[in-house]
Structure 1
Amino acid sequence: MGKGGYLSHSVIRNILLSYAYVTIWIFLSFSVIVYNKYILDKKMYNWPFPISLTIIHMSFCATLAFLLIKVFRFVDPVSMSRDLYLSSVVPIGALYSLSLWLSNSAYIYSSVSFIQMLKALMPVAVYSIGLGAVSFEATRLIMIQILLTSKGINLNPITSLYYVAPCCLVFLLVPWIYVEFPVLKETSDFHLDLLIFSTNSLCAFALNLSVFLLVGKTSALTMNVAGVVKDWLLIAFSWSVIKDTVTPINLFGYGLAFLGVAYYNHSKLQALKAKEAQKTTGQADDEAGRLLKGTESEKLAPKVDPGIRR
């Protein structure tokens, strides 16, 4: 850290990268939410089958991840033991399937703005997961963070999706068989618009990659705190374009959440400064120790009179 408490280049670089990851995730999450709302809403595309839509997404993600790893060799495969898969990937897949199913179902019955306001509680759930909070999404993000950072396996976003997407797909098939398959079977005019569902699935694939990238490079809490900005954008969009009702009390409550986000970002920046200062102090102490050790060695070394000839 330089004079006056300025951040070093490495810290600034990390901050800029974090904001880049957040920006990418916000854009993709915003796009997928609006796109899903368009497909599922009865007043728009009118295809009210959230489990089927999620199954299409996961099938697309699993297939594309398999092709990128096994066929095109875009990234190297990762060896994972059976025990690690069962203890880490399977719970993530189960929680992910529940999270996607319930969140997509909500867009059939509720407005985008109302759902995003409810999601303002997500940072609290993620932060307090160790105290017993059991939110599906919060738990899933915590487990992704553990899988990416604490298991000793170098997983990138594509390999992470390669393992999680098929597992999530299997869990989704169970409710789909009993809830939506009978209805789809009786629907004679059932068809898929290839352009709409392929582009929607591609957006979902990119979003899943960005989730693993953001959680792996920052943290689950950072992602959910940054999600408040995304929620503000969605609320503004739904109010101005979709014409959802947003009351003053809604905005006041979400404003409080935004102030909490600002305080969190300030605290995190101060922590980075303190960490950088500690690192710089440690390096200075090490350098001083080496110099002191060298000085003591010179004092203890035997002196030879230059006048003595051997």
Structure 2
Amino acid sequence: MASDSNLSTRSLKTPLDSSMVWLGLYFFFNLSLTLYNKIILELFEFPFPWTLTGVHTMCGAIGSYVFWKTGIFTPAQLGERENIIMLLFSVLYTINIAISNVSLNLVSVPVHQVIRAMTPLFTILLSISFLRKSYSSLTYISLFPVVAGVGFATFGDYDYTAAGFFLTVLGTVLAAIKTVVTNRVQVGRLKLHPLDLLLRMSPLAFIQTMMYSYVTGEMATMQEFVRTRGTWSLFFALLVNGILAFFLNVVSFTANKKTSALTMTVAGNVKQVLSIVLAVVIFDIKLTWMKTLGILLTLAGGAWYT
């Protein structure tokens, strides 16, 4: 059965099925979702991050289920130990979002962005410590402009509390762990298809996200918002947002599988400065010389790393 599956996988490969193509799609969907989230926030004033995450995970569950039933992929047969790994992975996914949201309220946005830009460094430490990987000197050198560039590009008022600083660093470490684990469950012993991973993770993450929304009181506030200001336009906008998030997850998992955890964290930093460029073009935001230097540094570092 395994050999037939491998033969089927090889026969489906095309010249477009390359790491650079999937990274390009990752940037496209990531930037599209970032812009779309901003539009929803401004047009509908929908400040419910857990509900929005719930929409994302629900669409991930439905979308991967539809792809399964239409024969796009076949779920792997997992034992009890592997299912526990999937449960822990979904918990890691949810906790990572929770800590990121909480820490953002305790530190200024520039502090949050600069610390999160350190994700590639934590990814290297994790890969060396637990996966016994090694990297060339040029790889280390290329990461310097990628990380430093985000610092320049997001330079602003640095304000934080001790708890906020600790939680932001913890969230960055968890983000690195999530990226490494995502890569391992797809290229390691499990070798899960990206849609298979999404099918197993999304329903669990949806339940956990809704539980957190209930505990924090967001669910009650959101229900009142829907009763007083809910429209079909808002419903449609959230649906499109969820569909975009589904395809971003598929593309992100696939790009992670075809490249590496470190490459995905570097791509995340490059995406961060590309978001600033997008904001400048669309929302007519003025660039300072320091932000411009940061953008150029990060893009140059990303190209060097590649």
Distance 1:194 1:54 in 2: 15
**Aligned residue in 2 for 1:148:** 186
Q: CA RMSD of the aligned region, Å?
A: 3.3
- From 196, 208, 220, the equivalent of 1:182 is 220
Distance 2:40 2:102 in 1: 11
**Which structure 2 residues correspond to residues 76-91 of structure 1 after superposition, within 5 A?**
76-86=74-84, 88-91=85-88
Distance 1:114 1:129 in 2: 23
Quote the offset at 1:208 in angstroms.
Answer: 0.4
Q: 1:142-190: per-residue Cα shift (whole Å, max 9, x none)?
A: 0111111112x33211111001111211221221002201212444314
Quote the offset at 1:114 in angstroms.
Answer: 8.6
**Which structure 2 residues correspond to residues 50-199 of structure 1 after superposition, within 5 A?**
50-69=49-68, 71-86=69-84, 88-101=85-98, 119-130=116-127, 134=170, 135-151=173-189, 153-179=190-216, 180-187=218-225, 188-191=227-230, 193-199=234-240
Change over 3 Å in CA distance of 1:113–1:34 after alignment to 2? farther
**TM superposition score normalised by structure 1:** 0.69
Question: Which AA in structure 2 matches 1:120?
Answer: A
**Which structure 2 residues correspond to residues 1-310 of structure 1 after superposition, within 5 A?**
17-40=18-41, 43-69=42-68, 71-86=69-84, 88-101=85-98, 119-130=116-127, 134=170, 135-151=173-189, 153-179=190-216, 180-187=218-225, 188-191=227-230, 193-244=234-285, 246-265=287-306
SS of the residue corresponding to residue 35 of structure 1 reads: helix
**Identity over aligned pairs, percent:** 23
- Alpha carbons 2:89, 2:201 under 8 Å: kept: yes
Change over 3 Å in CA distance of 1:106–1:194 after alignment to 2? farther
SS of the residue corresponding to residue 118 of structure 2 reads: helix
Change over 3 Å in CA distance of 1:240–1:68 after alignment to 2? closer
Q: 1:228-253: per-residue Cα shift (whole Å, max 9, x none)?
A: 33233211111232244543333334
Q: 1:55-78: per-residue Cα shift (whole Å, max 9, x none)?
A: 011111112212322x33332121
Q: 1:64-118: per-residue Cα shift (whole Å, max 9, x none)?
A: 212322x3333212111121121x3223212222334565789999999997665
Distance 1:240 1:107 in 2: 26
Change over 3 Å in CA distance of 1:171–1:16 after alignment to 2? closer
- Alpha carbons 2:273, 2:298 under 8 Å: kept: no
Distance 1:106 1:14 in 2: 43
Aligned length: 248
SS of the residue corresponding to residue 44 of structure 1 reads: helix
Structure 1 alignment gaps of length 5 or more: 1-12, 266-310
Q: 1:33-60: per-residue Cα shift (whole Å, max 9, x none)?
A: 11112223xx432100010011011111
Q: 1:286-309: per-residue Cα shift (whole Å, max 9, x none)?
A: xxxxxxxxxxxxxxxxxxxxxxxx
Structure 2 alignment gaps of length 5 or more: 1-13, 131-168
Question: Which AA in structure 1 matches 2:192?
Answer: L
Q: 1:126-149: per-residue Cα shift (whole Å, max 9, x none)?
A: 222255985221110101111111
Question: Which AA in structure 2 matches 1:222?
Answer: T
**Aligned residue in 1 for 2:162:** none
